Amino acid sequence: MTRLSERTAAMALAGFFGLCASVLLTEMASADGARTVVRVLSPFGVDGLHRDLSVTARLAGTCWSGSASAAGRLDAWRCMAGNRVFDPCFRAPGGLRVACVSSPFSHSVTLLSLDSPLARENGEASIRRQPWALRLANGAKCTFLTGASSSEGGMRANYGCTKGTVFGDIDHSGSTWQVYYATSQDDSNLLQVDVVEAVF
């Protein structure tokens, strides 16, 4: 980790590592394992819900808009069952149910049965294209913060982590992505930390 003011020449010269897969947790790491691993979470395959996922609840619900957590995913929705909001929920083939995932680092899902089929796409894809979640080199697991948030050094608190907060946009300029991290939203001492894994 380096202080906020420090940058490396390698970061300025390395190319952007893009996203290009849509299967369950598809790994895109290089052969040497040096670059950030990018994964795309897709709970459903051609044979239905993937076998490594565990259903913790089956509820009746409704979905009304595109996901705020996994913005940019046309198959991700914001849904409700009773008084509880689920986000993101991923559309199953046929559109009559969704799998809601509380954490991309968990294998547990809640299945919602819907009264009417969803559209194939939610029509509210965002160009923001921020990953839904990050796993950092310091061990922190982070998920995107929706709604109002604090700021530090002119940067929004974009991710809440198990051990702190990520401020500002992700630096994609190198094969290993980096973020500015603080131990809490009130900590002005920002450190630059490598992103080990990004989940879309």
**Parallel, antiparallel, or unpaired for β 44-45 and 48-49?**
antiparallel
Q: Is 95 left (phi over 0), alpha (psi -120 to 50) or beta?
A: left
Domain residue ranges in the chain? 2-38+132-199, 43-114
Task: Please count the other Cβ atoms lying within 10 Å of the Cβ belonging to residue 130.
Answer: 18
Candidate ranges 38-52, 76-90, 108-122, 172-186; pick with highest mean pLDDT:
76-90
- What pLDDT shows up at residue 37? 95
User: Tens digits of per-residue pLDDT, 70-107?
Assistant: 888 889 999 999 999 999 999 999 899 999 998 889 89
Beta bridge partners of 136: 195
Residues 6 or more apart whose CB falls under 8 angstroms from that of 167 comprise 151, 152, 153, 155, 156, 157, 158, 179, 180, 181, 182, 190
pLDDT band with cut points at 50, 70 and 90 for residue 184? confident
Whole-model pTM over 0.85: no
